[in-house]
Chain A
């Protein structure tokens, strides 16, 4: 796919004099994308969206997103896969479920955001040094291995992956937490890690079966 069409700069001269198309043609869209995203529990409701914008209005972080939740739903439905998966939107969603509760068409927008996060991680779209996907993947690895999450080691890992210098800025907070017995560098683990691994392996075997 021609990546240059994503550019919003149109005026000749602003990008070396080349003239670029600012829209996408229908045959350049990913027609299967909407189906894939809707293929989550109750995802079909996405097709009922009336573009009222209640989700964007109720979202506490929509003003930091490059595409608001309303736009994201429209773009998913039309197949703007690359734009959606490389957007900041999904990584700003804090899972507060306001949109899900307020949507008049009962679209589970938070679940749509989760589906997009999974697609973005699986497709390698996510920004490597942005903390939220780093937190999600580090958390996933930690729980997969130990059965529990340990806040201290998890935060250190996320800082190392994204911005190690941030750790110094948080040193005072870390010390205060340690002093009040609220932070530990110990890795918490469940006893039956073998059984836990069996559970996850058992899932891998049946995963090929369709979810629905």
Chain B
């Protein structure tokens, strides 16, 4: 199967390591993808706060571009790795299909830009593609360094599973845990896997956002996690990059690596660390790196 890939803005900037590692894993697993040409921002959470119809229409432009690029396909599979992009694109598909008036307006506006939207797109999360299209057995087979003895807390965050999860449970998701198991590591059973990290509040209103990220880190550590894996660039950013601030504010000494699930996969699959963007992490996952030491030498 051939997929279209929608990176979104974060995966080209603060979340670069997510794109790098995911595409490296795709390549190793022979997943055939093409980036959507000239994609635009999905609108994230902020655009909807200013203008609803505009928000749906700019998101729909990406879906229309996908239809144009794969015009012969009956159903087009679009992979959106960022939690916000994934949710916004699914929400757009859903609302356009449920509200004929909204769809009419959007289609009209897209026509002005020389595009058309018929609704042939299926938005997929990479975890969904990996577990359901590639399969857990194939992933287990692809690993070269089993992550034996590594305890991994899977953190799904909000928008990957809420409110439109199509491939996992909204309250107790399992896909990432199963993936971790397939890599030979031990998934940590912890209660906050879908609790909010603070989203954009952590950077903008620290009084409100920082405690949310702090609770997550503290709870993951309390359950014995050696590393936290995420599937969202904002979750990864909040949990990793604000650890210094969190330690200062709450008088703690947390030093918990937070990486993308695709980075963990790549390490187990013996993909060179540089191709996985490992050099971009602030907190090095020492224990994981020691386990895979048979592979590439550790980065600087």
User: B180 to chain A: closest CB distance in Å?
Assistant: 23
Contact A95/B158 with A101-B170, A196-B40, A199-B58 known, Cβ cut-off 8 Å: yes
Segment touching B, from A3-11, A22-30, A44-52, A184-192 = A184-192
A-B contacts, 12 of them at CB < 8 A, read A60-B195, A94-B196, A139-B44, A143-B40, A173-B245, A176-B282, A182-B14, A182-B15, A184-B13, A196-B61, A203-B53, A211-B101
A152: which B residues are within 8 A, CB to CB? 13
Interface pair A202/B9, CB less than 8 Å apart: no
Choose, from B144-152, B203-211, B289-297, the stretch at the interface: B203-211
Q: Verify A101–B204 contact, CB threshold 8 A.
A: no
Q: Are A195 and B54 in contact (CB under 8 A)?
A: no
Check A87 for interface membership: any CB of B closer than 8 A: no
Q: Mark A155-195, 1 if CB is under 8 A from B, else 0.
A: 10010000000000000110011001111100010111001
Q: Does B39 reach chain A (CB closer than 8 Å)?
A: yes
CA of A151 to CA of B9, assembled, Å: 8
Q: How many A-B residue pairs have CB under 8 A?
A: 195
Asked if B9 contacts A150 (CB within 8 A), the reply is: yes
Interface residues on B, range: 35 or more
Which listed segment binds A: B22-30, B110-118, B127-135, B183-191?
B110-118
> Which chain A residue has the least Cβ–Cβ distance from B209?
A94
Sort chain A's interface into a size bin: 35 or more
Is A86 interfacial (CB 8 A cutoff)?
no
Contacting pair A101 B163 (CB below 8 A): yes
Is B49 among interface residues, defined by CB-CB distance under 8 A? yes
A-B contacts besides A41-B99, A132-B200, A211-B99, 17 pairs, CB < 8 Å: A60-B212, A92-B201, A94-B45, A94-B196, A94-B209, A95-B45, A95-B158, A100-B163, A101-B170, A110-B163, A180-B280, A183-B13, A199-B58, A200-B58, A202-B108, A211-B52, A211-B102
Q: In this assembly, does B126 line the interface, its C-beta being within 8 Å of a C-beta of chain A?
A: no
- A114 with B48, Cβ < 8 A, contacts A41-B95, A200-B54 known: yes
Q: Is the CB–CB distance between A151 and B162 below 8 Å? A: no
Alpha-carbon distance between A176 and B282 when the two chains are bound, in angstroms = 8
Task: For the complex, give the distance between the alpha carbons of A184 and B13 in Å.
Answer: 7
Q: Which of B179-229 contact A (CB under 8 A)?
A: 195-196, 198-201, 203-205, 207-209, 212
B contact residues around A117 at 8 Å (CB): 48-50
Residue of chain B at shortest CB distance from A134: B204
CB distance from A201 to the nearest CB of B (A): 7
Residues from chain B with a CB closer than 8 A to the CB of A188 are 9, 12-13
A123 at the interface (CB under 8 A from B): no
Bound Cα distance A206, B111 (Å): 12
Chain A residues 94 to 131 lying within 8 A of chain B, measured CB to CB, are 94-98, 100-101, 110, 114-115, 117-118, 121, 130-131
Whether A131 and B40, one on each chain, are in contact in the complex, defined by CB atoms closer than 8 angstroms, is no
Picked from A110, A139, A151, A209, the residue with its CB within 8 Å of the CB of B46 is A139
